[in-house]
Structure 1
Amino acid sequence: MNTEVFIKLVEFMDLGQRFYLSLGAAFLSVLFLVLFVGLSMRGKSRGGPVDRLGRYFSHVEDQRQVVSPFMERAILPFWRQVASLVIRISPRGIIEAAKQRLILAGSPEEVGVDVYLFTKILFPFGMLFLTILLYLFLSPTPLLRVILIGSIPLSYFLPDFYLKRRIEKRQTEIKKTLPDALDMLVISVEAGMGFDQALHKVAGNIKGALAEELNKMLQEMGAGLARRDALRNLARRTDVADLNAFVAAMIHADIFGLSIGRVLRVQASDMRSRRRQHAEEMGAKTPVKLVLPLILCIFPALLTVILGPAVIRIYYTLIQRL
């Protein structure tokens, strides 16, 4: 019965629809073949003492897989394997740029470099497959065709857009928290604490992305990394102009042996001045931003209320004269 329905459906299609259906099927076949060959080669390349030792502990992993949900047992491992295959064939420069962008975004746990690059490749092919299906079964209008075809290359940049929004949100949060954190740092240092102790106190009293970055910096310093190198890593992980200026001043003070308290006081004063200037700048931009809502939302309502009765009266007057 299902075979007869399929045969009738194929006979009902015209030549163009059959071509698109064949093209989509061929594309999916090639895609799955490449993934299968890549994953099988990846599985054969594993070997050595680690795998032999893993056999003795495989029963523990099997028990964990039985307890874990189906998504973690089946879907996510396959997704990660395919994504790791993308990492292997990607150029080194693209991988490093993706790592840096993920670091600026706070290294989200749900998005790794492999998943990020694989998603950038998967989205255009998914949109292409969806476009073929819509062409076959819905006969879209010319406008919808243009939108669908244009969305295929644009979908490649969707992960970039998501990551850019996340980076901007995180940098804005750090920029807002930094002046208050510097004030607390100045008070702590002037109260007699060392710079490292003051950083630890500030990191414990604030929340958000800046607290996370300060804790990472303290962990690096606790592991034996020099203070100036930890400060450089802090600036590299955030890429905030105000924080970069603070890091440069602290490295300068560390190299030339300047008073940390005095440098912190100057930096805190400059930071408060920058925050005040930024607030004044945003306030000056407010009238310009209000022009479009006024024109589109408020002015039509005002014109309707003011001119509406006059238009109605003129309309009835003209009808009576005619």
Structure 2
Amino acid sequence: MLDMLLLFLLAGFATTLIAGILLTFFRKQIAFNERVNKYFAEPIKKQKEDLIKDDNKKSIKMSIDPYWNKGTEMLNKRVSATERKKLDILLRDAGYPFKSAIDFRLFQIVLSAGISLPFLFFILPSSDNKMLTWVITFTLALLGFRLPVFYLGKKKTARIKAINVSMPDFFDTVNLLLEAGMGLDLALVEVSKKIKGPLANEFFQTLEDMKLGKSRREAFYALRKRVPSDSFQSVITSLIQADQLGIGMAKVLGNLTVRVREQRREAAREQAMKAPVKMLFPMVFFIFPSLFIVILGPLAITLITKGLGG
């Protein structure tokens, strides 16, 4: 038994020694192969996987598009101009996650039917309480119809937050380029290329409007209308006024970035002051009952089993 153990240890030591010698001699070749795989093989493999995914998405889209287009054509005749305008405002504030108001309305209908109809067809025939089943089906249909609206509200909040977070750095960089002698439009283009996000996309849209013939004032008015953020709208209003009065943009942007950072600090202080109030309800309903059970539980068990004399 001892001989077999020594044999296994000797074989392991020899294998480790040979592997170490081989790694020492072929170290450069192994490093070269790893670099080749990292910079050539892996990107090609990833590119092939992306192409396969794109082909699958295209095939699925091609099978769905005819039915989707028929649905949009039918809804296009039924949705009123007032309702379409309201949906356009919701989509604009959320950053247009859907192509148009008609596509959004069709998605609401499809989601509502997809949630409620299976429950109606499979649960209702075998249900004893038909009225309750109908109420649940109607509730599911209403929930499916309203969920996309809640989604747009979440997208709007996240978009406004992203714009407010990126505003100081964005306008600081624009201010540096203006002080270096670059024009406002070119500075906005360069900064929008470097700093990605919803704020850069909005300025790209504004610059495209200016290329199509709008004046800077009109394009900035449209930008202010598209972004429902109070701090951003105040910044754009100051830029419009500075452009009208001929004030230097660099000085205006410098003061605006200082003001935006102060507003963000005040908002952070406000959120910090709200934290104790927000923590009160979880503590009362979740933490305190657990503490009472742990602390007073043994005492209650002792009183129940042994009484006061125990």
Shorter chain as denominator, the TM-score bin is: 0.7 to 0.9
Q: What TM-score do you get using the length of structure 2 for normalisation? A: 0.73
Residue 103 in structure 1 maps to residue 114 in structure 2: no
Q: Following the alignment from structure 1 to structure 2, what is the Cα–Cα distance between the partners of residues 148 and 294?
A: 36
> Following superposition of structure 1 onto structure 2, how do residues 128-147 of structure 1 map, counting pairs within 5 Å?
129-133=117-121, 134-139=123-128, 146-147=135-136
Q: What does residue 162 of structure 2 align with?
A: 173
Q: Deviations over 1:252-304 (max 9, x none)?
A: 11112122122212211221111111111111110111112112222122112
The answer to whether the Cα contact below 8 Å between 1:102 and 1:113 also exists between their aligned partners in 2 is yes
Task: Point out the structure with max Rg over C-alpha.
Answer: 2
> Following superposition of structure 1 onto structure 2, how do residues 138-287 of structure 1 map, counting pairs within 5 Å?
138-139=127-128, 146-287=135-276
Q: Residue 298 of structure 2: which of 309, 312, 320 is its match?
A: 309
Cα offset, 1:128, TM superposition: 5.4
Q: What TM-score do you get using the length of structure 1 for normalisation? A: 0.70
Q: Deviations over 1:213-265 (max 9, x none)?
A: 12222233334432112212222222211111111111111112122122212
Q: Residue 108 of structure 2: which of 106, 112, 120 is its match?
A: 120
Matched AA of 1:253 = A
Q: Deviations over 1:129-177 (max 9, x none)?
A: 3453222223358766544333333433222112121112111111111
The answer to whether the Cα contact below 8 Å between 2:76 and 2:102 also exists between their aligned partners in 1 is yes
Matched AA of 1:174 = I
Q: What does residue 67 of structure 2 align with?
A: 78
Q: Following the alignment from structure 1 to structure 2, what is the Cα–Cα distance between the partners of residues 268 and 68?
A: 43
Secondary structure at 1:137 match in 2: coil
User: Could you say if the C-alpha distance between residues 186 and 165 of structure 1 is closer, same or farther in structure 2, counting changes exceeding 3 Å?
Assistant: same
Secondary structure at 1:135 match in 2: coil
Secondary structure at 1:168 match in 2: helix
Q: Following the alignment from structure 1 to structure 2, what is the Cα–Cα distance between the partners of residues 195 and 88?
A: 44
Cα offset, 1:127, TM superposition: 5.3
Residue 94 in structure 1 maps to residue 83 in structure 2: yes
Taking every aligned residue pair, what percent have the same amino acid on both sides? 28
Matched AA of 1:235 = R
Q: What does residue 20 of structure 1 align with?
A: none
Matched AA of 2:87 = A
Q: What does residue 12 of structure 1 align with?
A: none
Matched AA of 1:259 = G
> Following superposition of structure 1 onto structure 2, how do residues 9-88 of structure 1 map, counting pairs within 5 Å?
70-88=59-77
Q: Residue 277 of structure 2: which of 285, 288, 294 is its match?
A: 288
User: Could you say if the C-alpha distance between residues 186 and 67 of structure 1 is closer, same or farther in structure 2, counting changes exceeding 3 Å?
Assistant: closer
Secondary structure at 1:136 match in 2: coil
User: Could you say if the C-alpha distance between residues 303 and 67 of structure 1 is closer, same or farther in structure 2, counting changes exceeding 3 Å?
Assistant: closer
Q: What does residue 24 of structure 2 align with?
A: none
Matched AA of 1:135 = L
The answer to whether the Cα contact below 8 Å between 1:87 and 1:117 also exists between their aligned partners in 2 is no
Bigger relative contact order, structure 1 or 2 (CA pairs below 8 A, ≥6 apart) = 1
Secondary structure at 2:95 match in 1: coil
Secondary structure at 1:198 match in 2: helix
Matched AA of 2:262 = S
Q: Following the alignment from structure 2 to structure 1, what is the Cα–Cα distance between the partners of residues 220 and 59?
A: 43
Q: Following the alignment from structure 1 to structure 2, what is the Cα–Cα distance between the partners of residues 319 and 148?
A: 56
The answer to whether the Cα contact below 8 Å between 2:90 and 2:152 also exists between their aligned partners in 1 is yes
Give the gaps of 5 or more residues in structure 2: 1-54
